[in-house]
């Protein structure tokens, strides 16, 4: 395979763009166009990653490696399998859409916002591309900074509380992860993920490491019961921040479980899978009910995110029991594929829903559901988009929301029918909170004069929602393009899971 610097390009191009936007973007409009240029270029360059990934070739492709910190054997090592490719393309697309969507919404300190956005993009690509644990950790921590700036500068009135809560939660989690990585480094003398995965670890070591990783990733996902930072962060974040947070940042948690926990601590993952499964199932039922009664649009969708991400952790952790106890690697592949498809789908659906809320907020300056009603009469196309995304949110077949949930439910049934029974509750409660919301904001008579005065979608808003809608429908109608891309990586993970370390 020829040497490729594509991943480096995708990391550094937006970061260079961020600097240029800060330097040359004194005029808001210049900053916007510069940011658009860089975001568009990055997205276009990420397409060869997808089209060029050879599903018949080695699992890790586009590999790069340079010595970084010799004393630690840490390398600037990048590579992408189908899972990374899918997440990276989602990242570049989402950022492009956020640049377009924030065009008129952000009026204050535009260069800084655009720079934070582009910086975020580079860092997130780095997270998904790093094959060296230390490099991963640097990117993992670095992504907090632009998110902080976004919430802190353009956030709502309680932004200080939200950012601190966010900070304490995530910092608390990642410090344990750092300790785990240091321990693994001491054990292996390296930082490469491959060497971590092949390290032989006793069950006691694995248990400690497992929970250290859980601390880091469960908070990012976020899993019940460490989810309470998310609704607060979303409520305070500006629209663009919310979209990135929901569509991409949460995925880092799910990605971490698949990339770190499963290969490095397979035996502990098996032993404590029940904890993760139980937490996921509780999230589906508990959070579903909590979402139902939220008076605030953003909180409702934030809680809905927690419930949907629970399918990611559920699909991931049933895989172990399926491989080891049921001798059913096919079911395990279905579970992990389901988890991954759910992540991509949730990227589109939650991104779209937060974009919709942003469009409403910009016109009404309120997030309270009770202030809305009958928007369908004044913004008919917006109503169509809302109904589509709400349907995707409750897993309607033909939309992306169905695919992952369907796969995870099928795989859960093969683990234990009871797990599928509880997970399938999402069909009812998801429909209840998603469509009750539609009923209250889109349908019914026009609620008040402010709603009556809402202006229809402009071209930029239309483009953003239409692209999200296309993503939702593409994955829903033909998920094979996604599952084929990820199949070699998933197969490799499942093979690794079959081999006990102790």
Partner 1 sequence: MILSTTVLLLIVLAPLFGAVVAGLLRNVIGRAASAGVTILGVAVSCALSLLVFYQLVWGGAATYNHNIYTWFEVGPVSAHIGFLVDRLTAMMMVVVTFVSLMVHIYTIGYMADDKGFSRFFSHIALFTFSMLMLVMSNNFLQLFVGWELVGLVSYLLIGFWFERPSAVYASLKAFVVNRVGDFGFILGIAGALYWFGSLDYANVFAAAKLPSVAGRTVEIFAGHPWSVATIVCICLFVGAMGKSAQAPLHVWLPDSMEGPTPISALIHAATMVTAGIFMVARMSPLFELSETALSFVLFIGATTALFTGLIGIVQNDIKRVVAYSTLSQLGYMTVALGVSAYAGGVYHLMTHAFFKALLFLGAGSVIIAMHHDQDMRRMGGLAKYMPITCITMWLGSLALVAAPGFAGFFSKDAIIEAVAESHRAFSGYAYFCVMAGVFVTSLYSFRLLYMTFHGKERFVVEQGGHGHHHHHEPGHLDHPPRESPWVVTVPLILLAIPSVVIGWNTVGPALFGGWFGGSIQVLPRNDVLAELAHGFHGPLASVLHGFTQWPFWISLAGFVVATWIWLYQPSIADKAAKALRPLYNMLVNKYWVDDLYRALFVGGGQALGRGLWKGGDAAVIDGAINGSSALVDRTAGVVRWVQSGYLYHYAFAMILGLILLLGGLWWTLAHAVA
62, 210, 286, 382: residue in contact with partner 1 (rule CB under 8 A): 286
Nearest residue (CB) to partner 1, 178 versus 194: 178
According to CB under 8 A, which residues from 44 to 103 bind partner 1?
A: 69, 71-72
By CB under 8 A, the count of residues binding partner 1 is 85
Q: Which two tokens stand for residue 238?
A: 């500006």
CB of 419 to partner 1, least distance (A): 10
* 146: nearest Cα among 15, 23, 7, 20: 15
| In contact, 10 and 60? CB cutoff 8 Å | no
Distance CA 374, CA 371 (A): 10
According to CB under 8 A, which residues from 345 to 404 bind partner 1?
A: 374, 376-377, 387, 391, 394, 396-398, 402-403
| In contact, 7 and 91? CB cutoff 8 Å | no
Interaction of residue 337 with partner 1, rule CB under 8 A = yes
x/- site string to partner 1, residues 314 to 333, per CB under 8 A?
Answer: ---------------xxx-x
CB of 201 to partner 1, least distance (A): 19
Q: 24-28: long-range contacts at Cβ-Cβ below 8 A with a sequence spacing of 24 or more?
A: 25/110, 25/111, 25/114, 25/115, 26/111, 28/107, 28/110, 28/111
Distances (CA, A) of 497 to 83, 193, 217, 261, 494: 17, 15, 19, 10, 5
DSSP of 120-158 = HHHHHHHHHHB-BHHHHHHHHHHTHHHHHHHHHHH--TT
Distance CA 225, CA 130 (A): 29
According to CB under 8 A, which residues from 427 to 446 bind partner 1?
A: 427-429, 431-432, 435-436, 439, 442-445
Interaction of residue 490 with partner 1, rule CB under 8 A = yes
CB of 40 to partner 1, least distance (A): 26
417, 449, 455, 459: residue in contact with partner 1 (rule CB under 8 A): 417
Q: Which stretch binds partner 1 (CB under 8 A): 20-28, 42-50, 120-128, 473-481?
A: 473-481
Nearest residue (CB) to partner 1, 45 versus 410: 410
Distance CA 339, CA 316 (A): 6
Interaction of residue 407 with partner 1, rule CB under 8 A = yes
Interaction of residue 412 with partner 1, rule CB under 8 A = yes
104, 172, 370, 453: residue in contact with partner 1 (rule CB under 8 A): 172
Nearest residue (CB) to partner 1, 168 versus 368: 168
47, 160, 368, 453: residue in contact with partner 1 (rule CB under 8 A): 160
Q: Which stretch binds partner 1 (CB under 8 A): 93-101, 183-191, 357-365, 462-470?
A: 183-191
Q: Which stretch binds partner 1 (CB under 8 A): 136-144, 233-241, 265-273, 456-464?
A: 136-144
Distances (CA, A) of 377 to 14, 358, 445, 453: 40, 19, 8, 11
CB of 409 to partner 1, least distance (A): 6
x/- site string to partner 1, residues 207 to 246, per CB under 8 A?
Answer: ------------------xx-x------------------
Distance CA 109, CA 344 (A): 31
Nearest residue (CB) to partner 1, 268 versus 437: 437
Q: Report the length, in residues, of the chain.
A: 502
Q: Which stretch binds partner 1 (CB under 8 A): 97-105, 184-192, 203-211, 248-256?
A: 184-192
Distance CA 213, CA 203 (A): 15
Nearest residue (CB) to partner 1, 58 versus 295: 295
| In contact, 139 and 147? CB cutoff 8 Å | no
Nearest residue (CB) to partner 1, 80 versus 307: 307
187, 289, 450, 460: residue in contact with partner 1 (rule CB under 8 A): 289
483, 488, 493, 497: residue in contact with partner 1 (rule CB under 8 A): 483
According to CB under 8 A, which residues from 247 to 266 bind partner 1?
A: none
12, 50, 413, 462: residue in contact with partner 1 (rule CB under 8 A): 413
CB of 51 to partner 1, least distance (A): 19
Interaction of residue 466 with partner 1, rule CB under 8 A = no
* 264: nearest Cα among 321, 188, 172, 329: 188
Distance CA 114, CA 33 (A): 10
Interaction of residue 425 with partner 1, rule CB under 8 A = yes
Cα angle at 348 between 494 and 94, to 5 degrees?
100
CB of 476 to partner 1, least distance (A): 9
| In contact, 378 and 454? CB cutoff 8 Å | yes
Q: Which two tokens stand for residue 156?
A: 């709502």
H-helix or E-strand containing 427? helix 426-441
Distance CA 155, CA 157 (A): 7
Nearest residue (CB) to partner 1, 1 versus 478: 478
Nearest residue (CB) to partner 1, 40 versus 289: 289
According to CB under 8 A, which residues from 99 to 118 bind partner 1?
A: none
Interaction of residue 156 with partner 1, rule CB under 8 A = no
CB of 451 to partner 1, least distance (A): 13
User: How many Å separate Cα 246 from the centre of its chain?
Assistant: 6
| In contact, 212 and 133? CB cutoff 8 Å | no
**Burial of 70 from C-beta contacts in 10 A (0-12 / 13-18 / 19+):** exposed
In 32-173, at which residue ranges do the beta strands (DSSP E only) sit? 61-69, 74-80
């Amino acid at each position: 395979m020829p040497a490729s610097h594509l991943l480096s390009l995708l990391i550094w191009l937006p970061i260079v763009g961020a600097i240029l936007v800060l330097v040359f973007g004194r005029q808001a409009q210049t900053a916007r166009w510069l940011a658009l240029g860089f975001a568009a270029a990055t997205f276009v360059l990420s397409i060869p990653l997808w089209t060029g990934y050879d599903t018949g070739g080695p699992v890790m492709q586009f590999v790069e490696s340079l010595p970084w910190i010799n004393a630690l054997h840490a390398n600037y090592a990048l590579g992408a399998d189908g899972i990374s490719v899918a997440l990276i393309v989602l990242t570049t697309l989402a950022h492009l859409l956020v640049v377009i969507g924030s065009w008129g919404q952000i009026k204050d300190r535009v260069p800084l916002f655009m720079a934070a956005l582009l910086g975020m993009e580079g860092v997130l690509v780095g997270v998904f591309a790093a094959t060296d644990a230390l490099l991963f950790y640097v990117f993992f921590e670095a992504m907090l900074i632009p998110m902080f700036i976004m919430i802190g500068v353009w956030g709502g009135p309680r932004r200080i509380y939200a950012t601190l809560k966010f900070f304490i939660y995530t910092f608390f989690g990642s410090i344990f992860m750092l300790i785990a990585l240091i321990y693994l480094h001491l054990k292996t003398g390296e930082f490469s993920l491959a060497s971590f995965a092949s390290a032989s670890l006793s069950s006691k070591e694995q248990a400690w490491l497992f929970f250290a990783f859980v601390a880091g990733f469960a908070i990012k996902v976020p899993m019940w019961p460490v989810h309470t930072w998310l609704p607060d962060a979303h409520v305070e974040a500006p629209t663009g921040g919310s979209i990135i947070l929901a569509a991409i940042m949460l995925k880092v948690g799910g990605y971490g479980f698949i990339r770190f926990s499963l290969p490095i601590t397979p035996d502990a993952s098996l032993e404590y899978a029940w904890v993760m499964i139980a937490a996921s199932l509780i999230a589906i039922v508990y959070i579903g009910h909590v979402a139902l009664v939220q008076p605030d649009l953003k909180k409702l969708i934030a809680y809905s995110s927690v419930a949907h991400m629970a399918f990611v952790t559920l699909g991931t952790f049933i895989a172990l029991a399926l491989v080891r106890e049921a001798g059913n690697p096919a079911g395990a592949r279905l579970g992990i594929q389901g988890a991954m498809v759910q992540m991509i789908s949730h990227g589109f659906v939650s991104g779209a829903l937060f974009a919709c809320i942003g469009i409403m907020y910009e016109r009404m300056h309120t997030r309270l559901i009770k202030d809305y009603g009958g928007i369908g009469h004044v913004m008919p196309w917006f109503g169509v988009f809302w109904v589509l995304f709400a349907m995707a949110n409750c897993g309607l077949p033909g939309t992306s929301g169905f695919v992952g949930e369907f796969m995870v439910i099928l795989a859960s049934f093969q683990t234990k029918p009871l797990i599928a029974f509880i997970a399938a509750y999402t069909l009812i409660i998801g429909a209840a909170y998603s469509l009750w919301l539609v009923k209250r904001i889109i349908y019914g008579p026009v609620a008040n004069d402010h709603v009556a005065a809402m202006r229809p979608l402009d071209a930029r808003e239309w483009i953003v929602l239409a692209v999200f809608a296309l993503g939702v429908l593409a994955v829903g109608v033909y998920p094979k393009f996604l599952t084929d891309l990820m199949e070699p990586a998933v197969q490799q993970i499942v093979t690794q899971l079959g081999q006990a370390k102790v």
